[in-house]
Amino acid sequence: MTKNKQILLAKRPVGTPDQDTFKFVETDIKQPENGEVLVRTIYVSVDPYMRGRMIDAPSYVAPYELNDVLGGGTIGEVVESNSNQFAQGDIVLGQYGWQTYYTAKEDEIRTIDKDIAPISTHLGILGMTGLTAYFGLLDIGKPKEGETVVISGAAGAVGSVVGQIAKIKGARVVGIAGTDEKNRYLKEELGFDEAINYNTTNNIEEDIAKASPNGVDVYFDNVGGEISDAVHANLNKYARISICGAISKYNIEGEDIGPRIQMTLIKKSASMQGFTLYDYADRFPEGSEALAQWLQEGKLKYEETIKEGFDNIPDAFLDLFEGNNIGKLLVKVDNQ
Amino acid sequence: MTKNKQILLAKRPVGTPDQDTFKFVETDIKQPENGEVLVRTIYVSVDPYMRGRMIDAPSYVAPYELNDVLGGGTIGEVVESNSNQFAQGDIVLGQYGWQTYYTAKEDEIRTIDKDIAPISTHLGILGMTGLTAYFGLLDIGKPKEGETVVISGAAGAVGSVVGQIAKIKGARVVGIAGTDEKNRYLKEELGFDEAINYNTTNNIEEDIAKASPNGVDVYFDNVGGEISDAVHANLNKYARISICGAISKYNIEGEDIGPRIQMTLIKKSASMQGFTLYDYADRFPEGSEALAQWLQEGKLKYEETIKEGFDNIPDAFLDLFEGNNIGKLLVKVDNQ
């Protein structure tokens, strides 16, 4: 009989996670009871925020327990239904993590529309990723036409959508990413005005100033650390900083030490706001509608890096911190 | 003939200003031309923000030039008028700084109401100080009834007004100040719920937690640095930080280094906003009206520390950084 393969949290990482962080197990598949369906996983999402859930500290989502199934968003196919809301063959979105099968209660999953775009986009530009970009930029950054928006982690899943939405809103868009290939993609494919390679620059603060001759009005921050310090030095009066992530600091041991931001915020009458997508849960329909429409109008492009094979999920996750991927990182599960 | 005594910026301070920063000079008094009045200074304001103007760096107000008259807000009496808008004996508010006389154009000064409260309050609770507290707390902090507001520099000119406005709005108010005497004043005179002495605490982060059993919803920050780091560790989800000042760091040489705030803001979906009073210039009438009304209703109390003697202005200014004063610090000028 087919088994359910799972990846569990074996050990809480200190510093950079490694293979000891993860444990592969096989369990029996639980047959769906009344109101439940059995879902076979097709795609799993690997996202930076999962690093935060691996440690035992209060945050915006509960930490994983030791021996919990890791991961988050998933897309799968209903293979057996004991619910009148789902039929065999339905493609569904859930949050059941890194396992090959899942027996879901009917209120834990929802059917996704296969006609708008490839189903994988519901984990990316039409899913959490796109919504994170949408609310973080528009609700906190509030870019106005002609203003300059700077984005760190610009070629990542969220950053690449942020830049395109900023262009839709008429802003000048400057991306910061770690390779020339990514920067070519940002400028040539996504229409960013400028792109800065933080790995090859001699003076990132000056490069940001050059790329932003009118200063920085909105900073969408995915990375934190020294790159962000350099952006802060270029803020305009009344600048808005939207703090989505700080991936450069997720794996450091000890505190994240650097220049305190208070004096800069006073001098610029600037604001800095952290957020997580679930702050906007009651506005998801608004965001989803806008993203789907822009995608269908050809105003939004997206890139996915899809790795193959369930066993490669930990490697894919660790790759996030190497900065090797463009766009949304997914793993396609080979479980048929 | 009477001379005008002035205090000029002799040297830009590095670190803590000292007597070399200041230069006393005497100049002739300029007789008022058409549309001008001659004002004799009665009170001058000494404020922490003036430290920022002494260095040559872009900020929200232009830096003083070398040999400029220092200072800011002043209250004086019209001694000679060549304007039909002002009569001899009028008490006027201006921004003409640390000098005993000033020949003002009629649009540089305005008459103040002597009947509401002592005239000195127009440099304090009814002036910039009160307005700073009003807008910084209500517009950025947005305290709701039952929420907890923590204030650093709580016994200072701005902080002591912030706490009282927070009480008017129904919040729990926790002050942080540097002496037991100040803390007694905050609790017994101003009605703060709790007050923490940062000089005698063994663990300020724990003391803030104890004084804020429901966590911190609003933090009104006058001081920055380590005290603020400790408040940040106690923030609630959706907390708002209003950055008014960072007096603990105005006199340090080099950068203000400490824990970066990004991860905290993400975990708490919290926001941090810097401001300066002039961001709210178009709403001053609203603020002035509210403050005057609360003062007349007895809902706002104020304390002034009034030093005597023009020659003592530099010492009074330097005292600001010693944390020795309660409430607004003024110097009464002995020039009659």
Lowest pLDDT segment from A278-287, B106-115, B289-298? B106-115
A336 has a pLDDT exceeding 60: no
Q: What is the DSSP letter of A29?
A: P
When CB atoms are compared, the residue of A249, A262, A273 closest to B265 is A273
pLDDT in tens, B227-258: 999 999 999 999 999 999 999 998 888 899 99
The separation between the first and the last C-alpha atoms of chain B, rounded to the nearest angstrom, is 13
List pLDDT tens digits, range B39-57: 999 999 999 989 989 988 7
Whether residue A277 has pLDDT greater than 80: yes
Q: How many Å is the Cα radius of gyration of chain A? A: 20
Q: What is the pLDDT of residue A144?
A: 98
Are the C-beta atoms of B164 and B299 separated by less than 8 Å? yes
Residues of A in contact with B248 (CB under 8 A): none
Q: Domains (ranges, CATH) in chain B?
A: 3-124+303-332 (3.90.180.10), 128-279 (3.40.50.720)
Which of A225, A260, A264 lies closest to B258 in CB terms?
A260
Residue B88 has phi, psi (to 5 degrees) of -55, 135
By CA distance, what is B257's nearest residue in A?
Answer: A259
| Chain-centre distance for alpha carbon A233 | 26
CB contact under 8 A, A262 and B224: yes
Task: Judge: B262–A275 Cβ closer than 8 Å, yes or no.
Answer: no
Q: What's the pLDDT at B325?
A: 83
Distance, CA of B60 to CA of B56 (rounded, Å): 12
pLDDT at site B323? 81
DSSP designation for A30 = P
Q: Is the pLDDT of residue A116 over 90?
A: no
Q: What are the two backbone dihedrals, phi and then psi, of residue B30, each rounded to the nearest 5 degrees? A: -90, 125
**CB-CB contact of A264 with A228 (8 Å):** no
CB spacing of A265 vs B255 below 8 angstroms: no
Size of interface A-B (CB pairs under 8 A): 129
**A249 in contact with B at a CB cutoff of 8 Å?**
yes
Q: Give B223→chain A minimum CA distance, Å.
A: 9
Mutate which of A229, A244, A261, A268 to disrupt the B interface (most B C-beta within 10 Å)?
A261
Picking from A245, A263, A271, the nearest residue to B249 by CB comes out as A263
pLDDT class of B336 with cuts at 50, 70, 90: low
pLDDT of residue B61: 74
- Please give the average per-residue pLDDT across B206-232, as a whole number: 98
- Please state, in angstroms and rounded to a whole number, the distance separating the CA atoms of residues A273 and A306: 32
* Contacts of residue A254, Cβ cutoff 8 Å, sequence gap at least 6: none
> Count of alpha carbons within 13 Å of A313, Cβ hemisphere only?
32
CA gap B68, B45 in Å, rounded: 17
Q: Is the pLDDT score of A251 beyond 90?
A: no
For tokens 């899942």, the residue is A102
Cα separation, A310 vs A41, whole angstroms: 10
When pLDDT is averaged across residues A186-202 and rounded to a whole number, the result is 97
Taking an 8 Å cut-off on Cβ atoms, the answer to whether A243 and B266 are in contact is: yes
A273–B263 C-beta distance less than 8 A: no
pLDDT at position A60 over 90? no
Residue numbers of A between 54 and 113 with CB closer than 8 Å to B:
58-60
- Give the separation between CA B28 and CA B2, rounded to whole angstroms: 8
What is residue A62's predicted lDDT score, i.e. its pLDDT? Answer: 81
**Residue B8: strand pairing partners:** B23, B69
A208: left (phi over 0), alpha (psi -120 to 50) or beta: alpha
Q: Are A281 and B279 in contact (CB under 8 A)?
A: no
B269 CB neighbours in chain A (<8 A) are: 60, 273-276, 279
Does the beta-carbon distance from A245 to B265 stay under 8 Å? no
Q: State which residue of chain A sits closest to B61, comparing Cα positions.
A: A267
Each residue's pLDDT tens digit, B113-150 = 888 889 999 999 999 999 999 999 999 999 999 999 99
d(CA A166, CA A137): 8
Q: Indicate the residue type of A274.
A: G
For residue B203, give Cα distances in angstroms to B112, B197, B226. Answer: 46, 11, 11
> A92 is written with which tokens?
């569904």
- Rounded to the nearest angstrom, the minimum Cα separation between A269 and chain B is 4
How far apart CA A79 and CA A75 sit, in angstroms, is 13
Per the CB < 8 A criterion, the answer to whether B158 and B137 are in contact is no
Any idea what DSSP says for residue A21?
Answer: G
Cβ pair B247, B321 in contact under 8 A? yes
Give tens-digit pLDDT for A17-35: 998 999 999 999 999 999 9
pLDDT mean over A162-190: 97
Residues 279-298 of chain A whose Cβ lies under 8 A from any Cβ of chain B: 279
Q: What is the mean pLDDT of residues B54-72?
A: 86
Of B59, B245, B266, the CB nearest to A246: B266
> Which residues in chain B are closer than 8 Å to A243, comparing Cβ atoms?
262, 265-266
**Distance of residue A222 Cα from the nearest chain B Cα, in angstroms:** 10
Tokens of A163: 């830049």
Question: Which letter does DSSP use for residue B320 in this model?
Answer: G
Backbone angles phi, psi at A199, to 5 degrees: -85, -25
Closest-CA distance, B277 to chain A, in angstroms, reads 10
Q: Which of A60, A225, A267 has its CB closest to that of B269?
A: A60
Evaluate if residue B97 carries a pLDDT over 60.
yes
Confidence of residue B87 (pLDDT cuts 50, 70, 90): very high
Averaged pLDDT, A255-280: 96
Q: Output the DSSP codes for A234-264.
A: TEEEEEEEEE---GGGTT-SS--EEE-SHHH
Q: Is B152 on the interface with A (CB under 8 A)?
A: no
Question: How far does A64 lie from chain B, in Å, by closest CA?
Answer: 15
Cβ contact, residue pair A266, B258, below 8 Å: no
The stretch B105-118 carries a mean pLDDT of 90
pLDDT confidence bin for B335, thresholds 50/70/90:
low
pLDDT at A325 over 80: yes
Q: Tell me: the pLDDT tens digits for A305-323?
A: 999 999 999 999 999 988 8
The nearest alpha carbon in chain B to A57 belongs to: B267
| Measured distance CA(B31)–CA(B41) in Å, rounded | 15
Enter the tokens of residue B309.
């003697």
Closest Cβ opposite residue B59 in set A224, A267, A271: A267
- Distances from the Cα of B138 to the Cαs of B186, B293, B335, in angstroms? 20, 16, 39
Q: What angle do CA A262, A266, A269 make, to 5 degrees?
A: 125
| Residue B253: predicted pLDDT | 85
For A43-57, A121-135, A193-207, B90-104, which range has the lowest pLDDT when averaged over its residues?
A43-57
ipTM given for this complex: 0.91
**Interchain pair B260, A224: CB under 8 A:** yes
Query: Any idea of the CA torsion for A254, B208, B198, B201, to the nearest 10 degrees?
Result: -90
Question: What is the gyration radius of the CA atoms in chain B, in angstroms?
Answer: 20
Partner-chain residue, chosen from A59, A256, A269, that has the shortest CB–CB distance to B259: A256
Return mean pLDDT, chain B. 94
Question: What is the 3-class SS of B202-214, one letter each residue?
Answer: CCHHHHHHHHCCC
Asked if B263 has any chain A CB less than 8 Å from its own CB, the reply is: yes
Confirm if B76 and B100 have CB atoms less than 8 A apart: no
pLDDT of residue A8: 97
Taking the C-alpha atoms of residue A318 and residue B109, their distance in angstroms, rounded to an integer, is 64
Q: Of A192, A153, A158, A199, give the one whose Cα is nearest residue A176.
A: A153
| pLDDT computed for residue A253 by the predictor | 85
CA dihedral A317, A321, A324, A330 (to 10 degrees): 30
Confidence label for B95 from pLDDT (cuts 50, 70 and 90): very high
**For residue B319, what are the CA distances in angstroms to A9, A333, B316, B329?**
56, 68, 5, 9
Confidence category of residue B76, pLDDT binned at 50, 70, 90: very high
A 10 A CB-CB count for A180 gives 12
Query: What is the pLDDT at residue A326?
Result: 87
**Do A260 and B224 count as a contact with CB atoms less than 8 A apart?**
yes
Cα-based torsion angle of the residue sequence B68, B74, B79, B83 in order, rounded to the nearest 10 degrees:
80
Q: Are A44 and A128 in contact (CB under 8 A)?
A: no
Shortest CB distance from A258 goes to which of B225, B257, B264? B257
Distance CA B14, CA A261 (A): 21
CA A223: distance to chain centroid?
12
In chain B, the percentage of residues whose pLDDT exceeds 90 is: 87
- Is the Cβ pair B260, A262 closer than 8 Å? no
Q: Would you say A212 and A234 are in contact if contact means Cβ atoms under 8 Å apart?
A: yes
